[in-house]
Amino acid sequence: MCGIVGYIGENKKAVPFLLQGLEKLEYRGYDSSGIAVLNQNEIKIVKKQGRLKVIKDILGSKDDLHSNLGIGHTRWATHGDPSDVNAHPHLSKSGKIAVVHNGIIENYINLKKTLSKKGYEFKSDTDTEVVAQLLDSLYEGNMLGTIKKATDLLEGSFALGIICTDYPDTLFAVKKDSPLIIGVGEDENFIASDIPAVLSKTRKICRLKEKQIAVLTSKNIDIFDFSGGKAKMEISEINWNVDAAEKNNYDHFMIKEIMEQPKVLNDTISPRLKDYSIKLDNLNFTEEYLKNLNKISIVACGSAYHVGCVAKYFMEELIRKPVEVELASEFRYRSPIVDKNTLVIIISQSGETADSLAALREAKKLGARVLSVVNVVGSSIANESDDVLYTWAGPEIAVATTKAYSTQLSLMYLIALYISKVLGTITDEKYKNLIENIKLLPEKITGILKKASSTEEIAKKYYQTEKIFFIGRTLDYAVCMEGSLKLKEISYIHSEAYAAGELKHGTISLIDNKTLVIALATQDKLFDKTISNIREVKSRGATILLITTEDKADKISDIADDVIYIPKISNILSPSLAVIPMQLLSYYIAKFRGCDIDKPRNLAKSVTVE
């Protein structure tokens, strides 16, 4: 969740890179920031609560922080309030060691008690300061050996950046259950939580694997495992266009990423479809394996979980196997019933989501085969899965996901069709029709986006509303869950998604003339029933915004105050179209409310702690 950067080079360029790198990681969410550099044999730290601009302003008045070695951090508070003292980096008692940390040290209280008995005093409420003092207590002149000893004592998840005054030309990095990459440069090397931080400097990336320690100088990089063994460094070349991680001429990353959806959907779908044949990379589910499946379990968090909720409906219809959708944060704590005859599908944009990674490991421990759907190549979830399908959505910077959701959903369509074809649970006619419709998704979404200005006008009417319900049935309800999340996370309006047929079982008591109801009606078989539910809330005084398909224009008469039409498509695929106006509506409402759209309060892009 936090952002880590680090620099070691021959020239004294640490501070400019640290600031630039942290700026590229602002999307991850943070409430304080700081840097530590080795300057004239002394570690100097500047850290403050608030946005990175505060640090930049302080450093702008200093001309003495010239250094070739440094670490930086943007903190999202977990232990201790957002404050100057709790901000990272943290300095050891001796002043020799500084640390930045992403993750959670689960046994920090016991370690803190032990260190206190040895005379260590703690200035902050963080678990990270314990790491700095632990390293200090173990240090006897060999930093690599000290780090190895510390990893034996630390429990939990941690990515660490470490500098030491006795090693003026060395940057240390540690990874366990939290993402950390190395950027490989010319006469300079870098560490960071994510690729955008180093992309302006290098395209050569090494993703640290689980339980690895990296020792970086300006000329060399050595990697060791926690037991001390030397590990091979695997370098990959990033082929993103640098512009993919920049806003270009858009006001926010979110609207840029909404507008990118036709392209990224085409990138996700096209290489995997040849005529009517589906090629899912190296995935090979045999007919025998699929026939023996007793169920499919989809495990995810947030918007990825909502992808699973949509997928449950069409996967069960097409495959005729039971499909469960599990919140990853609940999965491993409820004694899940999975075995070798369960296919577990983990969905995660970053591939580093802590709860999803823990659920993956639990599923594998119980014997299940795990297929992951992720965006980031070489991420922890991808590496630990039996099978992986990449969404190829490119970098997604805005905290509120849009294009990742859409590409994940498109892959779930392909998985469902692939399995149903192998099992023979779908007719050739239906299979071909759905393939043809999937190919049309980018074009139809382009059509919706061309009418974004009309959605903006509707948002202008309702942005001051403080109570909003999203209602729909079956697939529409599942999409409403994502629409509601998008709205509340970036506009801070309280909203709820509700199955339209359930309103009368209690919740309709909340409906009054101050309520906006956003109703989704795209499912042909349930259209009339949904209209009846809309009439129920309208009779209680609610204002109605209806999202429906163009062919229903003559059937809605005066039921809605405003209508957004989407193109007609197969009912199973309608979620991919219906979510687009919901994304746009959330974006424009948040914009009119003056919200920090790309960095909403209290949220982080990559949730790497439980």
Mean pLDDT per block of 10 residues along the chain (610 residues) reads: 88 89 79 90 91 85 78 83 90 96 89 95 93 96 95 92 97 92 95 90 92 95 92 85 70 94 93 91 88 96 96 97 96 91 95 90 96 88 92 87 96 97 96 96 97 96 95 96 96 93 83 92 94 90 94 86 96 97 98 92 59
pLDDT score, position 178:
84
Catalytic residue among 176, 421, 444, 605: 605
Query: Which tokens is 445 given?
Result: 């979404």
* Full set of structural domains in the chain with CATH: 3-239 (3.60.20.10), 245-446 (3.40.50.10490), 451-595 (3.40.50.10490)
Cα–Cα distances (Å) from 128 to 154, 157, 197, 573, in that order, read 11, 11, 22, 46
pLDDT score, position 39:
87
pLDDT score, position 43:
95
Query: Which tokens is 93 given?
Result: 């008692």
Cα–Cα distances (Å) from 560 to 208, 465, 470, 471, in that order, read 54, 17, 14, 13
pLDDT score, position 243:
59
Check if the beta carbon of residue 68 is closer than 8 Å to that of residue 40: no
* Helix, strand, coil percent content, the chain, rounded in steps of 5: 40, 25, 35
Of the candidates 82, 98, 91, the residue with the CA atom closest to the CA atom of residue 121: 91
Which residue type does 522 have?
A: T
| Cα distance between residue 604 and residue 493, in whole Å | 18
Q: What residue spans of 280-353 are helical by DSSP H?
A: 287-292, 302-319, 328-331
pLDDT score, position 242:
57
Give the chain's radius of gyration (CA, Å). 25
Query: Which tokens is 340 given?
Result: 């070798």
Three-class DSSP category at 474: coil
pLDDT score, position 599:
83
Query: Which tokens is 297 given?
Result: 């379990």
Q: Is 201 known to be catalytic?
A: no
Contacts of 553 (CB under 8 A, 6+ apart): 563, 565
Check if the beta carbon of residue 17 is closer than 8 Å to that of residue 192: no
Catalytic residue among 2, 206, 309, 480: 2
- Tell me phi and psi for residue 399, to 5 degrees: -60, -40
User: No. of H helices and E strands in the chain?
Assistant: 18, 27
pLDDT score, position 224:
96
Q: Is 2 known to be catalytic?
A: yes
Which residue type does 403 have?
A: K
Q: Map tokens 């001390």 to a residue.
A: 228
Please list, residue by residue across 305-338, b when 16 or more beta carbons sit within 10 angstroms of its beta carbon and e when fewer do. Answer: bbbbbbbbbbbebbbebebbbbbbbebbeeebeb
Three-class DSSP category at 327: strand
DSSP code of 306? H
Check if the beta carbon of residue 604 is closer than 8 Å to that of residue 589: no
Check if the beta carbon of residue 200 is closer than 8 Å to that of residue 20: yes
pLDDT score, position 61:
61
